[in-house]
Amino acid sequence: MSKGEFAIIGTGEVPCGNYPERSEFEIAYTVARQAIQDAGIDKNDIGAVLCAQHIMSNPDNDYNTEMVFGRLPEAIGAKGCKVTCMTSSGGASSFSLRKTAEGILHSGETDTVLVVHAQRFSTFTPNEQAKYFSIAGSDVEWEVPYGMTYNALAAMITQAYMNITGTTIEQIAAVCVANRKWAMLQPNAMFNQKEITVEKVLNARMVSYPLTTLMCNVLGDGGSAFIMTTAEKARKVCDKPVYILGEASDYSHRTITRAGMRDFATMAEYLAPIAKRAFERSGLGPEDMDIFQIYGSYPCIQLIIMDALGLWEPGTTGALVASGETSPGGKYPVTTNGEALSFGHTGTGVGIALLVESVRQLQGKAGKAQVEGARFIIENTGGGAFMDCHFTVLGNQIPG
């Protein structure tokens, strides 16, 4: 991919939360129409429709099968559609969907791709949700029998990270507070009505020591969409396209006992070269970034990814967050939609929501959360039990 070869020109999003009356199909149609309208194009310009997989799809309402077999382009009347498909990489689906879109665009088959995500967890009981996610991504032979869950793994990483870096539990909690402050500015965030404090986070019910309920993400219904095109078309139809300037990826492991890193607490050592490659390919550095869109799902993981970006001394990021510098009005805006901790966890859509927010910021459409003068953003996503990581540098201009 050449720097700035492709661009995103429009986005759509519905509120995240518990909406059992709102079907997955309704979500998909809504965000698709919003993205088309936001992009200012005709629906018949869309030559490909890509969908993210619905996690825990209900067999009585099989969204995945229907979407794979072309329900969405027919429903929205996209008469120019030539390709329809579905992909999933867990939380990293935003990246694999975007790379699939780039491949289709590069083939020349079409110059406009619609990417859609829709998720509805509320039709499943809390026990069903907990059972699914307690073992998803964990090895049934070597991990599940010993009680390994995402919360347990994140808790152990948190304890080790605090021990190695000297980061305090109050600083860990401050990440949750900063995320909530951003979510309070987002009309579609699941938790945009109740402000939280470090004390409230620490005094919440314990889940897996030292993680409390307010340090863990909450599943929610939601959906988002974006439209990708070539840079050439983007400049013709969009006042402020968002260009993909550089990206880098790596895959570490399937089972956590075989992780391709020294240990999870020092994950930043593994992630740093990936971020460095993304910066190098964009021709920019961490000091050029106006926003840092981090998908970690847990507060400690956000700090680890910040450690990897090369702008701050590893281990000092907890103090930085606690100082308020990553919150609204701070010098280093981080995760401006509140991410899984406060926006809500929509399965394969968490990374997509963060990408959509990145586009809004760079187009000046982020409302109350808008970071004034934002030009360049680094955004990351990943899936499974921290199995992979993908960094992308985005911008509303192409650096020379």
Per residue, the 3-state secondary structure of 48-72, as one string, reads EEEEECCCCCCCCCCHHHHHHCCHH
On whether the CB atoms of residues 276 and 311 are closer than 8 A, the answer is no
Q: What backbone torsions phi and psi does residue 342 show, to the nearest 5 degrees?
A: -130, -30
On whether the CB atoms of residues 180 and 190 are closer than 8 A, the answer is no
Location of structure tokens 């026990």: 127
Q: Which CATH architecture has domain 6-124+219-237?
A: 3-Layer(aba) Sandwich (3.40)
In the chain, where the domains are located: 6-124+219-237
Structure tokens at 329: 């009005």
277-301, pLDDT tens digit by residue? 999 999 999 999 999 999 999 999 9
- Please give the DSSP secondary-structure letter assigned to residue 89: B
On whether the CB atoms of residues 335 and 294 are closer than 8 A, the answer is yes
172 contact partners, CB below 8 Å, separation of at least 6: 158, 162, 210, 215, 299, 300, 303, 318
- Please give the DSSP secondary-structure letter assigned to residue 44: G
How far is Cα 328 from Cα 310, in angstroms, rounded to an integer?
A: 22
How far is Cα 154 from Cα 299, in angstroms, rounded to an integer?
A: 9
Tell me the pTM. Answer: 0.95
How far is Cα 124 from Cα 24, in angstroms, rounded to an integer?
A: 13
In order, the DSSP letters of 310-375 are SSS-TT-HHHHHHTTTTSTTSSS-B-TT-HHHHT-B-GGGHHHHHHHHHHHHHHT--GGG--TT--
> What's the one-letter identity of residue 237?
V
On whether the CB atoms of residues 6 and 229 are closer than 8 A, the answer is yes
Return the beta strands (E) in the chain as ranges: 6-17, 48-52, 83-87, 112-119, 206-208, 211-212, 221-230, 242-251, 291-293, 376-381, 388-395
Question: How many other β-carbons are positioned within 10 Å of the β-carbon of residue 60?
Answer: 6
Cis preceding linkage at 241, omega within 30: no
Tens-binned pLDDT, residue by residue, of the chain (400 aa): 689 999 999 999 999 999 999 999 999 999 999 999 999 999 999 999 999 999 886 666 689 999 989 999 999 999 999 999 999 998 899 999 999 999 999 999 999 999 999 999 998 888 888 778 777 777 777 777 877 788 888 999 999 999 999 999 999 999 999 999 999 999 999 999 999 999 999 999 999 999 999 999 999 999 999 999 999 999 999 999 999 999 999 988 777 767 777 777 788 999 999 999 999 999 999 999 999 999 999 999 999 999 999 999 999 999 999 999 999 999 999 999 999 999 999 999 999 999 999 999 999 999 999 999 999 999 999 988 788 899 999 999 999 8
Location of structure tokens 């880098």: 248
Q: Is 335 left (phi over 0), alpha (psi -120 to 50) or beta?
A: left
Question: How many other β-carbons are positioned within 10 Å of the β-carbon of residue 344?
Answer: 30
Instruction: Compute CA distances 171 → 39, 195, 197, 328, whole Å.
Output: 40, 17, 11, 17
